[in-house]
């Protein structure tokens, strides 16, 4: 999608720190990190929100979960632990309408989230 920040990061129109990519998704560091490790995993396909993940996206959903694991391994946060966040729509705090998984680690996460 032409006016989408994450599509522009994907096409390298906007610079980022992409450190992992495969046929279905990319992963890069968040520009405004909320923890020492704050990664965004973004599918290559422009899916707007979590609500758009239907039956036809089962393979993508499973793949994103697998990549969370890979990212946690690369960033060395598997053992201490980490948090996975997907914000959906305004009440969920979503700012960029291209589906993405936040992976946060490197510090203790409190609960409940803000």
Residues 35-74 that bind Zn ion (CB under 5 A): 46
Q: What is the token pair recorded at 2?
A: 């032409």
Q: How far is the CB of 44 from ligand 5GP (least distance, A)?
A: 16
Give the C-alpha separation, 96 to 99, whole Å. Answer: 8
Q: Which of 38, 46, 63, 100 is catalytic?
A: 100
Give the C-alpha separation, 86 to 72, whole Å. Answer: 16
Torsions phi, psi of 10, nearest 5?
Answer: -60, -40
- Contact partner, 1, from Zn ion, ligand 5GP, none, Cβ < 5-8 Å per class: Zn ion
Task: Give the DSSP letter of residue 55.
Answer: G
Interface mask toward Zn ion for 83-102; x: CB under 5 A: ---------------x----
Residues that bind ligand 5GP (CB under 6 A): 5, 14, 16, 28, 30-32, 40, 87, 93-96
Q: How far is CA 90 from CA 22, 94, 110, 113, in A?
A: 29, 6, 22, 16
Q: Is 100 a catalytic residue?
A: yes
Site for Zn ion, rule CB under 5 A: 1, 4, 6-7, 46, 98
Q: Which residues are catalytic?
A: 100
């Amino acid at each position: 999608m032409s006016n989408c920040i994450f599509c522009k990061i994907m096409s390298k129109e906007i610079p980022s720190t992409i450190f992992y990519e495969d046929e279905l998704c990319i992963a890069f560091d968040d520009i405004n990190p909320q923890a020492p490790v704050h990664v965004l995993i973004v599918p290559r396909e422009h899916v707007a929100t979590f609500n758009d993940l239907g039956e036809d996206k089962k393979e993508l959903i499973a793949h994103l979960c697998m990549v969370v694991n890979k990212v946690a391994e690369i960033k060395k946060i598997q053992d201490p632990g980490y948090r996975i966040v997907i914000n959906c729509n305004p009440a969920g705090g979503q700012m960029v309408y291209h589906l993405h998984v936040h992976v946060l680690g490197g510090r203790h996460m409190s609960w409940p989230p803000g």
